[in-house]
Structure 1
Amino acid sequence: MRIGELARRTGITARMLRYYEEQGLITPQRGDNGYRDYDEALIERAEKIRCFLDAGVPTRAVAPMLHCVEHPHEVTPDTAPELRAMLVRERDRMAERIDSLERNRASLTDLIHAMDRDEAQAARSA
């Protein structure tokens, strides 16, 4: 499939997909005409990449994380201690971000409820 089709099916812009390619995160085949040809497997991979990046994982950490997710049978504790340490750091950083997002969501919910109460009170007074 062409990049436009991959973009449509994943919801990721063609520009971002090209960035993934520049970073070595996805590798399309090249046709005889030189056009990129993205296979079906890249749909799921591109979606995983987007999820990692949306979670705040730095681009440099995405490739090893993808490898671990896609080939868990190859990952053993003695394979790469530095990789494990990086994964733990990223997991902990994501947990902190999730906590922060949950606090922000709770604050927004409280504000919305307060606004709803004020609006209801104003309607009763009118």
Structure 2
Amino acid sequence: MKIGQAARESGVTIRMLRYYEDQGLIHPRRSDARYREYAQADVELARRVQALSRAGLTLAVIAAILPCVASLRADAAKPCPNLLSVLRRKQQELEEQIALFELQRAAIADYLLAQSEDGAALSKSSAADFR
């Protein structure tokens, strides 16, 4: 299939498909006229790369673990020495980000509570200043 159809089927933009190829993540074959020709396996691989990217993994990490991931299902992953350590590190990073967001949310909630207790609730104009 041509790149436009592959983009539609995979949900990945044409530009991103080309980028994935440049990064060595997918390998569509070339026609005699040098057009990219995508197989269904290329489309599935592009979906997998995009899903891993949305999970917060960089393309460099994805390239390293892609051979270990047979599908998007966790029970279909092949054992790979570095896969678990990469995923554990990413999980720890996410936990740290969540903790930071919770602290920020609590600080904002405390500030808003203090303002309402003082009878000085934020006006619409001052609330707009925070946007």
| TM-score band w.r.t. shorter chain | 0.5 to 0.7
Q: Which residue of 1 aligns with 2:20?
A: 20
- Deviation string, structure 1 residues 66-109 (Cα, Å, up to 9, x no partner): 11112844x35xxx4x5543232124335556x57xx7xxxxxx
Query: Residue 5 of structure 2 aligns to which amino acid in structure 1?
Result: E
Aligned length: 99
Query: Residue 20 of structure 2 aligns to which amino acid in structure 1?
Result: Y
Unaligned runs of 5+ in 2: 71-75, 103-131
Q: CA offset at residue 7 of structure 1?
A: 0.5
Query: Residue 21 of structure 1 aligns to which amino acid in structure 2?
Result: E
On the 8 A contact 1:55/1:94 being kept in 2, the answer is no
Unaligned runs of 5+ in 1: 104-126
Query: Residue 59 of structure 1 aligns to which amino acid in structure 2?
Result: L
Helix, strand or coil at the partner of 2:56: coil
**Correspondence 1:4-15 to 2 at 5 A:** 4-15=4-15
Matched, 1:51 2:51: yes
Which gives a bigger RCO, structure 1 or 2 (Cα 8 Å, sep 6+)?
Answer: 1
TM-score by length of 1: 0.64
On the 8 A contact 1:10/1:43 being kept in 2, the answer is yes
For residues 62 and 94 of structure 1, what CA distance do their matches in structure 2 show?
Answer: 17
TM-score by length of 2: 0.62
- As a proportion of its length, which structure holds more helix? 1
